Amino acid sequence: MVEKFDCIVVGAGMSGNAAAYTLAKKGLSVLQLERGEYSGSKNVQGAIMYADMLEKIIPDFRDDAPLERHLIEQRFWMMTENAHTGMHYRSDSFNEAAPNRYTIIRSQFDKWFSRKVREAGAILLTETTALELIFDAYGVCVGVRTDREGGIVHADVVVLAEGVNGLLGSRAGLRQPPKPETVALAVKEMHFLPQETIESRFNVKGDEGVVIEAVGAISQGMTGMGFIYSNKESLSVGIGCLVSDYAKAGETPYGLLEKFKAHPSVKPLLEGSEVKEYSAHLIPEGGYKAIPQLCGDGWVVVGDAAQLNNNVHREGSNLAMTSGRMAAEAIFQIKSRKEKMTKANLKRYPDAMEASFVMKDMRKYKDIPALLHTNSRNFFLTYPELVAKAMENFVRVDGTPKREKESATFAAFRKTRGLGGLVTDAFKLARAWR
C-alpha cells in the first residue's frame, strides 16, 4: 500500500526546512526527502543568514541556533591586480539585542533547522533521492518516486525545494534546467584560524563579525564576486562567476580562488590558516526574468529551485526561507478550508510573494543580470582599474601639481572607456538599479 501524506517536501535546505517546519507546526502530516546524508551535508553557502526571515518562522531561534558572528561591518572592495579601493560601513547600531545578520556554517545550521523540523512533527528521510514527480491522468501531481526499494509515496501537494539544479522540476517540464548564462558556479574554502587571530585581524571582539565582498580583476573580466566572511574560528573564502564565462575565459573556479587568495589585499588576512573543506555550488543568477511558474496542480516550487536569488545583495537563503514559509501558509489555508491543491488555489502563494519584499526586490533588479553580463569587462576590469588609478593619483605625493593629477585621472577614464561609454554605463547601471 502506498502511504499518503498531506504534503511532501523535496529537499532539506533553507527553503525546504522553512516549508516543512511551517507545515508541521500547523499540524499537517509532512514527509521531507533529502538526498544527502543529513540535512546540510551537501549544502553550500557563504554564508550570511538574515535574521528577520527566520524570526518569522522560528521567533526564538537565537536561543539555540548555531550562529557564528553577527555582522557589524561590511566592506566592498573593487580590486585590481595589486590594489583595492574600498568602502567600509561599520556601525555600533548592529550590536543590537536582536542582531540583523549573522554568519553561519550551513552544515551546522541546517542540522539544527532539521532538528526543529523533526521536533515539529515532520518525518525526514535522508539519503533518499526523489527521482520523479508522479502525475495522475489529469496532470495533477500526486506524489513522488524515490530511489529506495518500494519508494513511491503520495501526497496532496509536493513542495519542490530541491535547490538550484531542480532536476525534478525540469524533468517534469515544470521549469527550464539552469542555463550556463544564468547560473554562477561558486567555490569556497573554510580557512581555520584561532578566534583571537580573527578578532585582531578584523578588529572585532566577542561575536562581532565582518563581511568583505570583492569585485574586479579577481574575476578576470567575468561577471563574478569574491567574498570573505568571518566565522567564529574560521573564514569562509570564496569566489563565483557565471558558468558560461568560465568556458569563454578559459579559467577554472579553483584557479580564480587561488588568485583571489594570493591577492596582496587578501593574503595577509588568511596568513597561517589551515584550509579545510573545499566546496563548489551553483547560484541562480537569472534574476526576475528567470523565475518559473511557482505553482501548478498539486505542486509548488520554492527557493533556489524557483531561481529566487538577489545577486546584487547576495541574498538567497532569506528568499528561500520566505518562499518556503509562504508556500506552506498557502497550503495550510487551502487545507484548512478543505479545498483541493489546484493551481488556482495554490496561487495564493505567488500572490503573497508578489505582495512581499521578495518579488518587489526581484523586480527592482530585473535588468542587472543582463547588464552585467553584456558589459562585464568594463564593470569588472576597466572600472576598478580606473578607480584605483584615480586613488593612487590622489594619494601618492610625488611633487606633481594636484591639478595635473586630476586631469590625468580624467584623461585616463576617458581614454580607456570613451566618454560616451562611461556615461552610458553609468546611466544603464543607474536605470537597472532603480
Partner 1 sequence: MHIVVCIKQVPDSAQIRVHPVTNTIMRQGVPTIINPYDLFSLETALRLRDEIGGAVTVLTMGPPSAEDALRKALTFGADRAVLLTDRFFAGSDTLATSYALSQAILKIGETWGAPDIIFAGKQTIDGDTAQVGPGIARRLELNQLTYISKVTRVDVEKRKIELERRAEGGTQVLASALPCLVTMLEGSAEIRRGSFVGALRAARAEITTWSAADAGITDLLKCGLRGSPTVVKRVFAPSPRAEKAKQVEVKPKSRETADDLIEALFEAKPAMQADLELLAAGL
Ligand X SMILES: Cc1cc2nc3c(=O)[nH]c(=O)nc-3n(C[C@H](O)[C@H](O)[C@H](O)COP(=O)(O)OP(=O)(O)OC[C@H]3O[C@@H](n4cnc5c(N)ncnc54)[C@H](O)[C@@H]3O)c2cc1C
Is residue 125 a contact point for partner 1 (CB under 8 A)? Answer: yes
Where in 369-398 is the site for partner 1 (CB under 8 A)? none
CB of 3 to partner 1, least distance (A): 7
Task: Kindly report the three-state secondary structure assignment for every residue of 332-343.
Answer: HHHHHCCCCCCH
Chain residues that interact with ligand X, rule: CB under 6 A? 10-16, 33-36, 42-48, 129-130, 161-163, 167-168, 186, 188, 238, 240, 281, 283, 303-305, 309, 314-318, 320
CB of 260 to partner 1, least distance (A): 22
> Which entry of partner 1, ligand X, none binds 37, CB below 5 to 8 A by partner kind?
partner 1
Is residue 38 a contact point for partner 1 (CB under 8 A)? Answer: yes
> Which entry of ligand X, partner 1, none binds 176, CB below 5 to 8 A by partner kind?
none
> Which entry of partner 1, ligand X, none binds 130, CB below 5 to 8 A by partner kind?
ligand X
Number of residues that bind partner 1 (CB under 8 A): 26
CB nearer to partner 1: give 44 or 359.
Answer: 44
CB-CB contact of 385 with 80 (8 Å): yes
CB nearer to partner 1: give 27 or 177.
Answer: 27
Instruction: Say how far apart CA 381 and CA 14 lie, in whole Å.
Output: 34
Instruction: Say how far apart CA 84 and CA 4 lie, in whole Å.
Output: 57
> Which entry of partner 1, ligand X, none binds 178, CB below 5 to 8 A by partner kind?
none
Pairing state of beta strands 234-242 and 224-230?
antiparallel
Is residue 121 a contact point for partner 1 (CB under 8 A)? Answer: no
Task: Kindly report the three-state secondary structure assignment for every residue of 285-346.
Answer: CCCHHHCCCCEECCEEECHHHHCCCECCCCECHHHHHHHHHHHHHHHHHHHHCCCCCCHHHH
Cell numbers given for 385: 582599474
Where in 235-294 is the site for partner 1 (CB under 8 A)? 274, 276
Cell numbers given for 383: 572600472
Cell numbers given for 273: 590558516
Instruction: Say how far apart CA 109 and CA 383 lie, in whole Å.
Output: 38
Is residue 152 a contact point for partner 1 (CB under 8 A)? Answer: yes
Is residue 422 a contact point for partner 1 (CB under 8 A)? Answer: no
- Residue owning grid cell 508556500: 327
Residue 230, burial from CB neighbour count under 10 angstroms (0-12, 13-18, 19+): buried
CB nearer to ligand X: give 228 or 305.
Answer: 305
User: Which phi and psi (to 5°) does residue 356 adopt?
Assistant: -100, 180
CB-CB contact of 4 with 155 (8 Å): yes
> Which entry of partner 1, ligand X, none binds 3, CB below 5 to 8 A by partner kind?
partner 1
> Which entry of ligand X, partner 1, none binds 24, CB below 5 to 8 A by partner kind?
none
> Which entry of ligand X, partner 1, none binds 243, CB below 5 to 8 A by partner kind?
none
Measured from each CB, the residue nearest to ligand X is: 13
Handedness of CA 256, 259, 261, 265 (dihedral sign): negative
Cell numbers given for 306: 524557483
Where in 50-109 is the site for partner 1 (CB under 8 A)? 105, 107-108
Interface contacts to partner 1, rule CB under 8 A? 3, 31, 37-38, 41, 105, 107-108, 123-125, 127-128, 146, 148-153, 192-194, 233, 274, 276
